[in-house]
Amino acid sequence: MPALVIGTGYGGSVAALRLAEAGVDVHMVEMGMAWDTPGSDGKIFANTTSPDVRSYWLRTRTKQPLSNFLGFPLDKDVPRHTGILDAEEFGGIIVYQGRGVGGGSLVNGGMAVTPRRENFAAVLPSVDAAEMYGTYYPRANAGLGVSTIDPAWFETAECYRYARVGRKHAQRSGFPFVFVPDVYDWDYMKREAAGTATKSALAGEILYGNNHGKKSLQQTYLARAKATGRVTISPLHKVTSVAPATGGGYTVTVEQINTSGDTTATKAMTADKVFFAAGSVGTSKLLVRLKATGALPRLNGEVGKGWGDNGNVMCGRANHMWDATGKLQSSIPTAGIDNWAAGGAFAEVAPLPTGIETYASFYLSITRNPHRAQFSWNAATGRVELNWQTAWKQPSIDAAKTIFDKINAKEGTIYRTDLFGTYKIWGDHLTYHPLGGAVLDKATDNYGRLYGHPGLYVIDGALIPGNTSVNPFVTITALAERNIEKIITTDL
């Protein structure tokens, strides 16, 4: 086949669409499920507040980002199943990843943020910012269906009371409060609020998929790719090897799995070009293993390096009784506190859609964290390991404190200590935004071509070295648009 794409997230979806538009037949392989069939409740995706068999990737117990609430542990046993959210545990960090056709777009909050241009040189130093902001960011935003909430509606919507409280506290402490674009269908959300559409964001759907209003890749890039007639997708297919084929191109070994994670068949495919788009962790682990075991021996020493967590850290604040945040909270965040220039932190005002009044403000901070981890092959265990250390989160906590210590002092409030365990303020054990591991212009050339093996490309978040200053998926998409355009022009 001409082109094989490993993964169906942002980078892979961009590659598949643009290759197909250029007349190239594309086969996409996806480890997760298709997510196109309703469960017994008539819904494709499970609700955030009641995780079930659909919720986790091959776990027997849930691993929720908020592990506790008011002293009660939240995690529960579930049947082992190829569910939508992978909570992958390494030595020092849990990495949350979407599993299924659409990748991370299935499970994120859809916050579609373009970094401020003055921060871009620190994100991707080898990339021309003028091209990105003139061509590829606009192309990505259009392709993803990005739009911003109606500010007038925001002011009165009961489901965003929590965000208005967050705004009041931010502004009273002198922090800039910004609306953040999203890929949610805002007209649909207005109908949810009016009671004329099935509730989705207003039913707390986010962590394990969203049944109605969110424009995931299934509705955008992948829908357009399939419509070309040149793209086939094989879900529940896991790539185990990529190696040079005798007659040119590459032999790709794929295991077909069932919903319990058992291998039911092993297949070999041959492709002229192979695009690694399995996500920062998936792509990095695969490349590190293939280099170490001799399948792709000419990959360079940068493979596996430069991995970061986008400085993710979570916290909650306990507000006063007169600062109610609302029983009904939209699961789609739409605003943030931007203290990047002064304190190295951008904090999204996140929902706590519990269905009860919590008098709490909750935040996911993205921070300037200098630490970078490396993936390496452990031959004794036959596994790829990551050397991240939980202590490396301290700069992220310090950056987030530049916002929330000040707000607490001004408001006379305290941090919540019941969300991440017992007497634990900071959610410093996780990331939603894995980045790096096959860094642009280091493990690859400046357009994602892997060194040493012509015809192999990285086109996902593995290219971005650890930090984007905001939620990363628009940058991943825009970079993929830039790279695939060059590759189609010069390599095909």
Q: Which of 88, 348, 481, 485 is catalytic?
A: 348
For the question of residue 433 being annotated catalytic, the response is: yes
Describe the strand order of the beta sheet including 335-339 as a list of residue ranges. Answer: 177-179, 335-339, 345-350, 360-367, 313-318, 414-415
d(CA 369, CA 392): 8
Residue 84: DSSP 8-state: S
Cα maximum dimension of the chain:
72
Q: Which of 433, 453, 481, 485 is catalytic?
A: 433
User: 458 - beta bridge partners?
Assistant: 276
* Helices 394-411, 161-172: crossing angle, 10 deg rounding: 90
- Residue at token pair 């998409």: 477
Neighbours of 277 (CB within 10 A): 31
Residue 136: DSSP 8-state: I
SS3 per residue for 229-274? CCEEEECCEEEEEEEECCCCCEEEEEEEECCCCCEEEEEEEEECEE
d(CA 155, CA 437): 42
Q: Note whether 472 and 316 are within 8 A (CB).
A: no
SS3 per residue for 342-401? HHCEEEEEECCCCCCCCCEEEEEEEECCCCCECEEEECCCCEEEECCCHHHHHHHHHHHH
Look up residue 289 and give its amino acid.
R
- Nearest Cα neighbor of 25 from 284, 269, 280 is 269
d(CA 385, CA 382): 10
Q: Note whether 270 and 249 are within 8 A (CB).
A: yes
Q: Note whether 348 and 342 are within 8 A (CB).
A: no
For the question of residue 357 being annotated catalytic, the response is: no
CA-CA-CA-CA torsion for 21, 25, 29, 30, nearest 10 degrees?
Answer: 20
CA-CA-CA-CA torsion for 98, 183, 365, 369, nearest 10 degrees?
Answer: 70
**What residues act catalytically?**
348, 433
